[in-house]
Amino acid sequence: MKIINVVAAIMQQHQRILIAQRDRQSDLAGYWEFPGGKIEQNETPVQALVRELEEELNINHIQVTDYIATSTIQQPERIIQLQAWKVVAWQGEIQLRCHTNFCWVTPDEALNYQLAPADIPLLLAYQQT
What is the C-alpha to C-alpha distance for residues 6 and 3, in angstroms, rounded to an integer?
10
Q: Concatenated DSSP letters for 81-92?
A: EEEEEEEEEEES
Q: Which residues contact 6 (CB under 8 A, 6 or more apart)?
A: 36, 37, 38, 39, 80, 81, 82, 83, 118
Residue 11 makes contact with Mg ion by CB under 5 A? no
Task: Write down the least CB distance from residue 6 to ligand 9L3, Å.
Answer: 4
Task: Write down the least CB distance from residue 120 to ligand 9L3, Å.
Answer: 10
6 binds, among ligand 9L3, Mg ion, none (CB under 5 to 8 A by kind): ligand 9L3
Task: Write down the least CB distance from residue 119 to ligand 9L3, Å.
Answer: 5
Measured in degrees and rounded to the nearest 5, phi and psi for residue 45 equal: -55, -40
Residue 19 makes contact with Mg ion by CB under 5 A? no
8 binds, among ligand 9L3, Mg ion, none (CB under 5 to 8 A by kind): ligand 9L3
Please report, as residue ranges, which positions from 39 to 68 form the binding site for ligand 9L3 (by CB under 6 A).
Answer: none
Residue 38 makes contact with ligand 9L3 by CB under 6 A? yes
Measure Cα distances from 80 to 70, 73, 85, 123 in Å. Answer: 10, 5, 16, 17
User: Given the rule CB under 6 A, which residues bind ligand 9L3?
Assistant: 6, 8, 26-28, 33-34, 36-38, 80, 82, 116, 118-119
